[in-house]
Chain A
């Protein structure tokens, strides 16, 4: 296993179209996070899962966004009726819950770059 993978790496779409991204976490990582990063900014939290349960959603996650992790393994992030403001890098991260502390490192994938025309 070589880390967190995300597909596609790049997506260009027209405004109003729906898009779906996929994230495959590191095996046995039970926590999975989605972040969004725009140019010149740090990643911003969108949502996260523990196994298949979605535990928290940011206010950034409007009702056009939906995320799933149906079997506690891979996750999908869907954006409906895309807007130009959705153009960003969408990053997925996973971690293994070993209790708190220590810090459970979040390993990031390479991201999916979305461009909405």
Chain B
């Protein structure tokens, strides 16, 4: 079993839909939970991070962490074609330590 599991999709939704992406993990030492977005042939860019459990909102994006279930989610409201990308969850035990990534979920938002 990999440390971080993420459904690779692909996921295709109409413009304006609410998108739900999620990851599960097995290492209880993880304290930092990140969502990165990666466009084709580009490096990942950080969307959001959460320290420990809880929710965090930033514009159309909401990140949730449930450490008791070892489950994290990213919600995208009012999805746009420009949101079409691969979304990677990532985790680490410390704020400066190497990241452990999921496989990434490929999302397409259709206009």
Which residues of A are interface residues toward B (Cβ below 8 A)? 4, 31, 33, 35, 40-45, 48, 56, 58, 91, 93, 95, 97, 99-111, 113
Contacts and interface: CB of A to CB of B under 8 A. Distances in A.
A41 B95 contact: no
The size class of the interface chain B forms with chain A is 20 to 34
Contacts of A102: 51, 95
Nearest to B90: A42
A103 B101 contact: no
B83 to A, nearest CB: 19
Interface stretch (B11-19, B39-47, B58-66): B39-47
Contacts of A109: 43
A42 B96 contact: no
A1 B90 CA distance: 26
A104 to B, nearest CB: 5
B46 A31 contact: no
Contacts, number: 68
Interface of B: 4, 6, 8, 32, 34, 36, 41-46, 49, 51, 88, 90, 92, 94-96, 98-104
A31 B96 contact: yes
A4 B46 CA distance: 14
Contacts of B43: 4, 91, 93, 108-111
A43 B95 contact: no
Residue among A56, A106, A108 facing the most chain B CB atoms (10 A cut-off): A106
